[in-house]
Amino acid sequence: MRQMRDAILDNDIKIVQLVNKRLDLVAKLRDYKSEHDIPFVDAEREAWMHRYHQSANGGPLSPDGLTRLLDDLLRLTKDETA
């Protein structure tokens, strides 16, 4: 049981690192868009991202679970980079 818990913790650390990397990248994108008077939120891009990830998802994450994850990730990213 300890090995499984350690593996889960290691995976969680990687997820946090990747979210932090995403925040850095989105902050740079936000700055670029701001400098060029481009609206930050792109609903078409977000819809494309949802479709892309749904087609790439091999499970076991359900389509509904993936939608919730992406929605939360987008909301978090917008809040953290504002």
State pLDDT tens for residues 23-75: 999 999 999 999 999 999 999 999 999 999 999 999 999 999 999 999 999 99
pLDDT (0 to 100) of residue 41: 95
C-alpha dihedral (29, 80, 77, 35), degrees to nearest 10: -20
* R_g of the chain, CA atoms, integer Å: 15
- Six token digits for residue 69: 């994850």
Domains of the chain in sequence order: 2-80 (1.20.59.10)
pLDDT (0 to 100) of residue 16: 98
Concatenating the DSSP letter of every residue in 13-64 gives HHHHHHHHHHHHHHHHHHHHHHHTT--S--HHHHHHHHHHHHHH--SSS-HH
**Spatial separation of the C-alpha atoms in residues 59 and 62, rounded to whole Å:** 6
Q: Is the pLDDT of residue 82 over 90?
A: no
Q: Is the pLDDT of residue 22 over 90?
A: yes
